[in-house]
């Protein structure tokens, strides 16, 4: 049985932040129709993908899944369990925004089987939150984490963003210190990225704000690694840090090149070497599901060369490249072809080669994209 992952894209939001490029909508007209459609999509794929695999994680992303009522998500979870072999110990994550939940609602989500929260805090400074057009303030962010703990959640992630315009090292240090003082088990720290089509990107193009340079970004990143690791959070992926035993099972499925099956508008799936994606428009998604049970907008078949590149990239971005698994899946050619460059990286302390694993060091993570561009 293959270990695989399930993803559900909940597109509904109460507000579109200036930096976000994920598919989301701020209207609620089709909440009921979406539930009907996504359950039909779940059912329609079960005949193909339910027999040869066990699903060890379910992830509700968005959008803002915590805007939904607990019974709404419970219907989806029940549909998944009715149609697929979901492990009894599956990690079930829900993305949550401060300001959309209180303690009672969190307790209700907990009773549905959701056992992991990912809270989109982004910053503990009110000026940053206003710039990012978040709906919450610092106090709401802190109370959401504390309420989640009191509601019974032991596995709590928070998201933070660094290298905001004008962000000093002192401000970023304050964010990190605020995070580690809370009862969280996982921290995702992302550098601010300009995505095409976002309000933020247009503001930069129009010269209204200026993004700080790559060298400063790298300094903030190294600060992040040092402070979080000194507080008991182990780095297990470029942007992710966890207390021992709390690495995200769902994200590890992606980084270890496992199969994942996804539902909802704009959702991407990857099963048996085939990758496909759904239409992004919610109305189009619902219409396609009603007609044929699927809403596939396009697909690609992953050839051996692409599979090798993706496998190496994902492994090096995370816990490391298992050389035995690499050889078993793809042979020795890649390792032989890159042996000289790997020796160079090892000599400069950018990677560590030990016990049949290649892992990036702290300084290697800082230039991860540059290293990968030369290896794949």
Cβ 11 vs Cβ 63: under 8 Å: yes
27, 283 in Cβ contact below 8 A? no
Quick one: average pLDDT of 41-65? Answer: 93
Which pLDDT belongs to residue 118?
A: 98
d(CA 223, CA 122): 17
Place of tokens 């303030």: 137
Strands 296-301 and 116-122: unpaired
- Please, which pLDDT band fits residue 330 given cuts at 50, 70 and 90? very high
Mean pLDDT, range 182-207, rounded to an integer: 84
- List of residues 6+ apart from 299 with CB closer than 8 A: 274, 275, 276, 277
User: Rounded to whole angstroms, how far apart are CA atoms 316 and 371?
Assistant: 10
User: CA–CA separation, 337 vs 257, rounded Å?
Assistant: 22
For the chain, domains (ranges, CATH) are 2-255 (3.20.20.70), 305-375 (1.10.10.920)
Its pTM stands at 0.94
- Give the residue with greater pLDDT, 191 vs 177: 177
Peptide bond into 373 cis (omega under 30): no
Instruction: Please give the pLDDT value at position 339.
Output: 94
Euclidean distance between CA atoms 150 and 104, whole angstroms: 10
Q: What is the mean pLDDT of residues 209-216?
A: 84
Checking if the pLDDT of 122 tops 90, the result is yes
CA distance 350 to 17: 36
Distance CA 362, CA 125 (A): 27
Q: Are 144 and 119 in contact (CB under 8 A)?
A: yes
pLDDT digits (tens, 9 = 90+) for 133-187: 889 999 999 999 999 999 999 999 999 999 999 899 999 999 999 999 999 999 9
Q: Which of 62-71, 195-204, 234-243, 314-323 has the lowest mean pLDDT?
A: 195-204
110: pLDDT strictly greater than 80: yes
Question: Looking at the predicted structure, is the pLDDT value of residue 201 above 80?
Answer: no
What is residue 357's predicted lDDT score, i.e. its pLDDT? 94
CA dihedral of 96, 142, 146, 97, whole degrees rounded to 10: -10
Q: What average pLDDT score do residues 40-49 get?
A: 94
Burial class of residue 357, CB neighbours in 10 A (0-12, 13-18, 19+): middle
Looking at residue 16, the DSSP 8-state letter turns out to be -
pLDDT above 90 covers a percentage of the chain that reads: 84
Encoded tokens for 176: 């990190």
Section 244-250 average pLDDT:
97
Position 103 scores a pLDDT of 97
CA distances from residue 245 to 3, 45, 117, 188, 241 in whole angstroms, order as listed:
18, 32, 15, 16, 11
- The residue among 251, 250, 282 whose CA lies nearest residue 266 is 282
Q: What pLDDT, on a 0 to 100 scale, did the predictor assign at position 211?
A: 81
As a whole number, mean pLDDT of residues 35-55 equals 93
Check residue 49 and give its pLDDT.
Answer: 87
Q: Which pLDDT value is given to residue 68?
A: 97
């Amino acid at each position: 049985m293959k270990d695989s992952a399930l993803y559900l894209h909940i597109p509904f939001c109460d507000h579109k932040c200036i930096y976000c490029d994920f598919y989301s909508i701020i209207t609620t007209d089709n909440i009921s129709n979406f539930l009907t459609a996504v359950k039909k999509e779940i059912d329609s794929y079960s005949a193909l993908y339910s027999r040869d695999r066990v699903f060890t994680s379910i992830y509700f992303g968005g959008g803002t899944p915590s805007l939904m009522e607990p019974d709404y998500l419970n219907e989806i979870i029940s549909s998944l369990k009715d149609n697929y072999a979901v492990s009894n110990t599956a990690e079930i994550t829900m993305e949550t925004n401060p300001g959309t939940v209180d303690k009672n609602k969190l307790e209700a989500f907990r009773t549905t089987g959701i056992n992991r929260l990912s809270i989109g805090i982004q910053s503990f400074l009110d000026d940053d939150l206003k710039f990012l057009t978040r709906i919450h303030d610092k106090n709401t962010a802190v109370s959401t984490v504390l309420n989640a703990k009191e509601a019974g959640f032991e596995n709590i992630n928070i998201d933070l963003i660094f290298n905001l315009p004008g962000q000093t090292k002192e401000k970023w240090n304050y964010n990190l210190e605020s995070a580690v003082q809370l009862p969280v088990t996982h921290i995702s720290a992302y550098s601010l990225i300009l995505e095409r089509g976002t309000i933020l990107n247009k503001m930069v193009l129009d010269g209204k704000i200026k993004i700080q340079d790559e060298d400063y970004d790298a300094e903030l990143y190294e600060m992040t690694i040092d402070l979080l690791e000194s507080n008991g959070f182990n780095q297990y992926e470029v942007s992710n840090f966890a207390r021992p035993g709390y690495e995200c099972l769902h994200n590890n499925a992606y980084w270890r090149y496992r199969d994942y099956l996804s539902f909802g508008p704009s959702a991407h799936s990857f099963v048996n070497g085939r990758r496909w994606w759904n239409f992004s428009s919610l109305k189009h998604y619902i219409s396609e599901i009603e007609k044929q049970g699927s809403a596939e907008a396009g697909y690609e078949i992953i050839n051996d060369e692409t599979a090798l590149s993706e496998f190496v990239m994902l492994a090096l971005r995370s816990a490391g490249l298992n050389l035995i698994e690499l050889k078993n899946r793809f042979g020795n050619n890649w390792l032989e072809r890159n042996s000289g460059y790997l020796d160079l990286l090892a000599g400069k302390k950018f990677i560590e080669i030990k016990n049949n694993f290649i892992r990036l060091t702290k300084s290697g993570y800082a230039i991860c994209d540059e290293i990968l561009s030369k290896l794949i």
